[in-house]
Amino acid sequence: MIEVRELTKSYGPTIAVNQVTFDAHAGEVLGFLGPNGAGKTTTMRILTCYLSADRGSATVAGYDVFEESVEVRKHIGYLPESAPLYTDMGVIEYLNFMTQVRHLPKSQRKERTRAVIDICGLEDVIQKDIGELSKGYRQRVGLAQSLIHDPPILILDEPTSGLDPSQIIEIRNLIKDIGKEKLVLFSTHILPEVSATCSRILIINDGKIVANGTPDELSSQAKGEDTVHIAIRAPQDAIEAKLDTLAFVSQWNHVKTDDGVVGYKITAEQGSDAAEALFHVVVENGWSLTELRQESVDLEDVFLNLTVREQE
């Protein structure tokens, strides 16, 4: 639904987006992750036809972003960073305006307004002016605005910023829900958010895409090796002799011996299902297992590895 090819955009000497290429399809939740100034907002602004690119192409819902921008805009809902809204309008008045410019048929306007009020939890503030709302409620009104025409593509720039923890969870669930049938592209700085919500992650740094994959793929790519913590009740010599014969074990370290239980930290080749294999080894030898834990690589490490700029 979104196809981006070698998109490049500079502000004067700053290259904000540099040769960005990616695809996205319906049924995906795509997380856009990157440090401040990485180019997330700029990329989204190009996709929503707010800005033009210097080079490259992008199609959204089959329409060219530069040539058929009105068609593109009909197919997306967009929540810009920090949810800019008309502070002098009432919440209902604002949503009403949106139903008009989104060309909803008169018969559906009430119904859709009702629906987004329910979805975004705006019931308590419908009487108020937007200027009176707290940051979190403004964010929700912004989200409501982007959903009002039930768009097939949703582009959200930091949708959870300024929300309270329970609302964050609600929004994440909402995003997941929408992402079952539609395409959601959202940006964030918060790592747990992407692993909790996204089916795919794009990590962008200095305007370039540095990683593109599912959260699991990215975690394993980062290290290329898995770490297993294991503790076995058995003679130490026997265990170590056995470990030396196992092909997938690239390294083992004795960690502790405690009351006849011997603990090891084992480094295994990536994707070898080391934990399972070790379990079978233990069973075959009639030993007893007291601990078995495969360490999943933290996404945080991946992110830092990919985005920390090389010093010197």
Partner 1 sequence: MAGFRIAQIKVGESCSIARKRAHAYKLPSAYKQEIMTNITAILKKEFRSYFNSPIAYIFITFFLGISSWFFFRSFFLVNQAEMRGFFGLMPWIFLFFIPAVTMKLWAEEKKLGTVEILMTLPIRDYEVVVGKYLASFALLAVTVLLSLVIPLSVSYLGDPDGGTLIGGYIGLLLMGGAYLAIGLFASTLTENQIIAFIFGITTCFVLLIIGEDIVLFNTPNWLFPIFSYLGLGAHYSSILRGVLDSRDIIYYLSVIGFFLYLSALSVESRKWR
* Residues between 36 and 55 with contacts to ligand ATP, criterion CB under 6 A: 36-42
Q: How far is CA 163 from CA 33, 155, 160, 170, 174, in A?
A: 19, 18, 6, 10, 14
Among 93, 240, 258, 301, binds partner 1 (CB under 8 A): 93
User: Does the footprint of partner 1 cover residue 128 (CB under 8 A)?
Assistant: no
- Minimum Å gap between C-beta 136 and partner 1 is 17
Q: Terminus-to-terminus CA distance in the chain, angstroms? A: 41
Q: Give the position of tokens 């990919």.
A: 306
Q: Where are the alpha helices (H) located in the chain, listed in sequence order? A: 40-47, 69-74, 91-101, 106-120, 135-147, 165-178, 191-197, 215-223, 236-245, 274-284, 299-307
Residues 86 and 84: their CA atoms lie apart, in Å, by 7
- Minimum Å gap between C-beta 41 and ligand ATP is 3
* Residues between 53 and 82 with contacts to ligand ATP, criterion CB under 6 A: 81
Contact (CB, 8 A) for 38 and 205: yes
- Minimum Å gap between C-beta 48 and ligand ATP is 13
- Minimum Å gap between C-beta 148 and partner 1 is 11
Q: Which does 84 bind (CB under 5 to 8 A by kind): partner 1, ligand ATP, Mg ion, none?
A: partner 1
User: Does the footprint of ligand ATP cover residue 188 (CB under 6 A)?
Assistant: no
- Minimum Å gap between C-beta 40 and Mg ion is 5
User: Does the footprint of partner 1 cover residue 13 (CB under 8 A)?
Assistant: no
Evaluated on CA atoms 169, 171, 172, 177, the torsion sign reads: positive
Residues that bind Mg ion (CB under 5 A): 41, 81
CB atoms within 10 A of CB 25: 12
- Minimum Å gap between C-beta 5 and partner 1 is 19
Judged by CB under 8 A, which stretch of 70-78, 238-246, 247-255, 266-274 contacts partner 1?
Answer: 70-78
Among 22, 33, 45, 267, binds partner 1 (CB under 8 A): 45
| Beta-bridge mates of residue 289 | 232
User: Does the footprint of partner 1 cover residue 97 (CB under 8 A)?
Assistant: yes
